[in-house]
């Protein structure tokens, strides 16, 4: 497997970098967008697969990254003294204070990454310190993303409302209509994906990575060895949020629009499904699952728009019941290297009670 | 008084009015051992939960090395030098035997200090030492989930020893073991006396006898009597609440 990886990863990287040569503009744009989402999916693999925390609200961090850069792009497209079109329609005559810093590209970039990460730290700190986990944590993240989309839609004069933000012309001096900019963006996306992939792999190989799995499988045992698991969980949750924000940023640059419908409850759940399909403990599986499900969605929903939701539901059920390790599990079977620790079923923390070792002292009778 | 490692002072634990522990007191010298026996529901596990900070007493206090640890969070109690082995093997199943011990042996437990792939030489030595102690050296690369039940228990004992604790709380360390495994476990524990102090709870008389340490009998949250295993065995109160019952049970079993 290790030798296979040494060949497979550079080959995949070369193949992806050469895509502009052999793919048409339409499919290249799709691939770029899905690879950006692959970064978010790797974040979910870290948080869910390795730390056992099911995040059902990654759309929130994705959206903060996306809106951060979109606000900047919106302002760049304006003539001096002008305010965005939707603000004029909604009766505003001056730029709201929240928008002013986004005139600067640097501030927008930094903000798009720092704000979601800081929010994740704050949320994680509040919840993990109080030992909120499992289903409660998942529901809270879900509620957060619902609140965020509701807020965006209700504040139309300041956020663009349901329609979101679009009509960008250029980013950092490059025209977004120019095909060369699109190729450049694609290459940046691939390189960032590769960089984050290897960074995440390194992270998992450290003691920190081992402790994440230790906490996932026996939080109390780890606690009773003198560790405080909360900071570990906060840290990995923030890493997942940062990766979601990077994905949101790249996604918006690639596609040229962001709206609440792209970051809401349903997209947040779909994100988890990509990772489940790919294999939640596998970083490459998460990316592959994202590509597979999204290309599938593009092809299926263009011919049968109503069918897609049923299909993704069926896919999730299939993975949970017969393919707990997703695509990565199939790959492992094919390379005939059965993984020693393979579990019989997918561990979905949502349906698991918090682990409580040794609480029943009645297991053996006197 | 001041030279005791652990001192339990009149500790009472109440679960919605039910007194799981009722004015329990005892003390333990460094490097010594105390075994606690008692029927199910006597409060043995609650006692350990209370020492480690998982359950808060309504009154009384717990002193460790002279300082009050009664209300500290669990990980802080552990950092002071008390480590607990749970009754069901509390190993980390998806890590190898070696990695399990590494997690326990690490001195720097903050997340940002864990961002490295290697451990210090001192930690490495400790891991090797523990692997010899629990005789699992040749299984070091095996996933802990794949160990036999007895070996899991030894691994966990190894882990609590690796944590460098001075006081180890062992909750039924021989539960579910075969006769030979029990003997091996008792020998392992006896080899460690002096290096650390132990509180061992069990309800298997033979196992407690092998440990050959002072015994306290816990019944309905109270300490019924204390002494050597022979003294305890001949105590009439103990006979009626604990030994008698199991003798009756044995007699029933023999008749059946």
pLDDT at B41 (0 to 100): 81
A340 neighbourhood in chain B, CB within 8 Å: 143, 146
pLDDT at A304 (0 to 100): 82
What whole-number distance in Å separates Cα of residue A61 and Cα of residue A114? 10
What whole-number distance in Å separates Cα of residue A277 and Cα of residue A286? 8
Using alpha carbons only, give the angle B174, B177, B181 rounded to the nearest 5 degrees: 85
Evaluate if residue B256 carries a pLDDT over 60.
no
CA distance B106 to chain A (A): 9
Evaluate if residue A16 carries a pLDDT over 70.
yes
**CB distance B88–A220 less than 8 Å?**
no
pLDDT at A287 (0 to 100): 95
Q: Does A211 touch chain B (CB under 8 A)?
A: yes
Q: What percent of chain A has pLDDT over 70?
A: 91
A358 neighbourhood in chain B, CB within 8 Å: 45, 86-88, 90, 171
A219 neighbourhood in chain B, CB within 8 Å: none
Residue in B closest to A210 by C-alpha? B95
Using alpha carbons only, give the angle A64, A70, A75 rounded to the nearest 5 degrees: 135
Q: What is the CATH number of domain B6-89+164-255?
A: 3.40.50.300
Residue B249 banded pLDDT, cuts 50, 70, 90: low
Digit-coded pLDDT (tens) for B9-23: 999 999 888 888 999
What whole-number distance in Å separates Cα of residue A88 and Cα of residue A149? 22
Evaluate if residue B240 carries a pLDDT over 80.
no
Digit-coded pLDDT (tens) for B158-191: 998 888 788 999 988 888 888 888 888 898 888 8
- H-run or E-run covering A38: helix A25-44
Residues A37, A274: contact at Cβ < 8 Å? yes
CA distance A220 to chain B (A): 8
Q: Does A232 touch chain B (CB under 8 A)?
A: yes
What whole-number distance in Å separates Cα of residue A73 and Cα of residue A251? 13
B44 neighbourhood in chain A, CB within 8 Å: 361
What whole-number distance in Å separates Cα of residue A256 and Cα of residue A109? 16
Mutate which of A50, A227, A360, A365 to test chain B, going by most B C-beta atoms within 10 A?
A227
CA distance B173 to chain A (A): 12
What whole-number distance in Å separates Cα of residue B27 and Cα of residue B226? 12
DSSP letter for each residue of A77-111:
TSPTT---HHHHHTT--S--TTTGGGGSHHHHHHH
- Residue spans of the domains in chain A: they are 2-351
Average pLDDT over chain A reads: 87
**CB distance A207–B44 less than 8 Å?**
no
**CB distance A226–B79 less than 8 Å?**
yes
φ/ψ of B33, rounded to 5, equals -135, 145
Positions of E strands within chain B: 6-15, 18-28, 33-37, 59-64, 67-68, 82-85, 167-171, 197-201, 215-219, 222-227
Q: Does B20 touch chain A (CB under 8 A)?
A: no
Residue in B closest to A342 by C-alpha? B94
Residues of chain A numbered 322-361 and touching chain B (CB < 8 Å): 340-341, 357-359, 361
Q: Does A96 touch chain B (CB under 8 A)?
A: no
Residues of chain B numbered 197-216 and touching chain A (CB < 8 Å): 203
Residue in B closest to A220 by C-alpha? B90
- Residue spans of the domains in chain B: they are 6-89+164-255
**CB distance A358–B87 less than 8 Å?**
yes
A227 neighbourhood in chain B, CB within 8 Å: 75, 109
**CB distance B111–A203 less than 8 Å?**
no
Digit-coded pLDDT (tens) for A64-76: 999 999 999 999 9
Looking at per-residue confidence, does A331 or A262 come out higher? A262
Block residue for tokens 């495994």: B181
Evaluate if residue A341 carries a pLDDT over 50.
no
């Amino acid at each position: 497997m290790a030798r296979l990886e040494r060949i497979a990863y550079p080959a995949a990287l070369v193949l992806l970098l050469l895509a502009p040569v052999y793919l048409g503009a339409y499919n290249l744009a799709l691939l770029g967008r899905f690879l950006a989402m692959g970064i978010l999916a790797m974040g979910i693999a870290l948080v869910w697969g390795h730390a056992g925390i099911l995040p059902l609200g990654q759309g929130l961090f994705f959206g903060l990254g996306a809106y951060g850069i979109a606000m900047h792009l919106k302002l760049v497209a304006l003539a001096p003294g002008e305010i965005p079109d939707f603000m004029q329609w909604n009766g505003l005559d001056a730029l709201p204070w929240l928008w002013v810093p986004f005139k600067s590209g640097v501030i927008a970039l930094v903000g798009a990454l720092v704000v979601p990460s800081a929010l994740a730290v704050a949320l994680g700190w509040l919840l993990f310190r109080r030992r909120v986990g499992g289903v409660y944590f998942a529901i809270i993240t879900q509620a957060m993303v619902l609140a965020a989309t509701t807020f965006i839609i209700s504040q139309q004069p300041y956020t663009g409302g349901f329609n979101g933000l679009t009509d960008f012309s250029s980013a950092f001096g490059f025209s977004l209509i120019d095909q060369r900019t699109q190729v450049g963006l694609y290459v940046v996306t691939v390189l960032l994906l590769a960089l984050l992939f290897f960074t995440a792999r390194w992270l998992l190989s450290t003691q920190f990575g081992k402790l994440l799995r230790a906490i996932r499988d026996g939080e109390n045992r780890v606690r009773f060895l003198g560790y405080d698991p909360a900071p570990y969980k906060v840290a990995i949750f923030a890493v997942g949020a940062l990766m979601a924000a990077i994905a949101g940023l790249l996604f918006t640059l690639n596609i040229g629009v962001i709206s609440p419908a792209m970051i809401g409850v349903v997209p947040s759940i779909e994100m988890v499904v990509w990772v489940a399909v790919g294999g939640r403990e596998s970083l490459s599986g998460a990316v592959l699952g994202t590509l597979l499900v999204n290309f599938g969605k593009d092809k299926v929903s263009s011919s049968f728009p109503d069918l897609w939701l049923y299909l993704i539901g069926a896919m999730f059920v299939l993975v949970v019941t017969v393919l707990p390790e997703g695509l990565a599990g199939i790959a492992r079977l094919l390379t005939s290297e059965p993984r020693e620790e393979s579990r019989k079923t997918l561990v979905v923390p949502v349906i698991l009670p918090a682990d409580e070792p040794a609480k029943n002292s009645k297991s053996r009778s006197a | 008084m001041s030279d005791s490692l652990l001192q339990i002072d009149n500790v009472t634990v109440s679960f919605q009015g039910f007194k799981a522990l009722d004015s329990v007191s005892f003390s333990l010298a460094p490097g010594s051992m105390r075994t606690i026996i008692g029927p199910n529901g006597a409060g043995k596990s609650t006692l350990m939960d209370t020492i480690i900070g998982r359950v808060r007493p309504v009154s009384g206090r717990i002193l460790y090395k002279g300082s009050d640890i009664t209300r500290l969070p669990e990980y802080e109690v552990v950092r002071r030098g008390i480590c607990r082995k749970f009754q069901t093997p509390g190993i980390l199943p998806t890590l190898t035997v070696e990695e399990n011990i590494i997690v326990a042996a690490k001195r720097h437990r903050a997340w940002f200090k864990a961002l490295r792939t290697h451990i210090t030489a001192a930690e490495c030595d400790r891991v090797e030492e523990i692997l010899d102690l629990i005789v699992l050296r040749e299984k070091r690369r095996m996933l802990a989930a794949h160990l036999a039940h007895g070996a899991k228990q030894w691994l966990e004992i190894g882990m609590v020893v690796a944590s460098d604790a001075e006081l180890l709380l062992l909750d039924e360390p021989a539960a579910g073991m075969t006769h030979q495994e029990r003997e091996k476990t008792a020998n392992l524990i006896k080899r460690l006396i002096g290096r650390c102090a132990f509180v061992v709870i069990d309800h298997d008389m033979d196992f407690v006898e092998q440990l050959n340490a002072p015994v306290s009998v816990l019944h309905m949250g109270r300490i019924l009597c204390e002494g050597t295993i022979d003294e305890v065995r001949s105590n009439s109160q103990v006979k009626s609440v604990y030994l008698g019952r199991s003798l009756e049970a044995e007699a029933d079993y023999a008749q059946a």
